[in-house]
Structure 1
């Protein structure tokens, strides 16, 4: 079986991080980095992460809520991190985290987090099955479970998935018919 055709893949196999200098050409009329530019970068890294996981071209099916938490200044370094949080049959949820760093002070800011649902497509443009993910930590299981619940609850967000109060045993039943395999390495 080739690397691309594995039935399950570890999340770390497709995780990506990119860092880009924010230029004046990326700014809006108020001198801050334009939100549309950030969304474009987010979509690019979500595509790359999903394509790397699935071994196929992927398209964006939906974006779950993007809140711009802190402005990004011209001259800052912007770091985007992408990771597969959930796998369905042909779709996956890519979790994104965006941070900016002031080069002079070293101060970093969390700018936003979002979830992009991406769908794998074959050469004919049809949705195609993808590998599942191997969950190896409580945090990965929490993110997978959260993706399942987010789908069930739509846009309603809850705090019950806080890492401080998450109880793994309360959610293990969600994995019974899922496209995942738990190999918990922590106690």
Structure 2
């Protein structure tokens, strides 16, 4: 069911894994139930081949008052050896909510390393780009 017409893992299956890993990361960080509010720029760099081992890593790269930007990377490779290849990347924004569905504050994330600071700047640049994308999309929504 996860095989596409080209004999590779279907992109929809990879997207599901990304959302699941991102959700687990967001819940682990916030300690609250979380909902996906934005998935932007999923970049399929290389296909995931059938039979390959897949590694999905998610990490917090920026927090707002109630939101978390989670970077998710997928790597895959032959289980008989060799390294895993970077196949997919995206950033997902989750919001923490309570039992009534109301947003709740999340712990602040503070970058500690140069890589962390770079990732946070990346998240902030994406936020700026999203504003112009949102404006454009709003013009075409019914």
Establish whether residue 50 from structure 1 lines up as the match of residue 26 from structure 2: yes
Number of positions where the alignment pairs a residue of Structure 1 with one of Structure 2: 132
Report runs of 4+ in structure 1 exceeding 3 Å deviation: none
TM-score for both structures, normalised by structure 2: 0.87
What corresponds to 1:109 in structure 2? 85
What corresponds to 2:59 in structure 1? 83
Residue ranges of structure 2 left out of the alignment (5+ in a row):
133-142
Seen in structure 2, the aligned counterparts of structure 1 residues 153 and 29 have a Cα distance that, compared at 3 Å, is closer
Deviation of 1:28 after TM superposition, in Å, equals 1.4
Bigger CA radius of gyration:
1
What corresponds to 1:64 in structure 2? 40
How far apart, in 1, do the equivalents of 2:129 and 2:21 lie? 26
Higher normalized helix content (fraction of residues): 2
What corresponds to 1:31 in structure 2? 7
TM-score for both structures, normalised by structure 1: 0.67
The CA RMSD over aligned residues, in Å, is 1.5
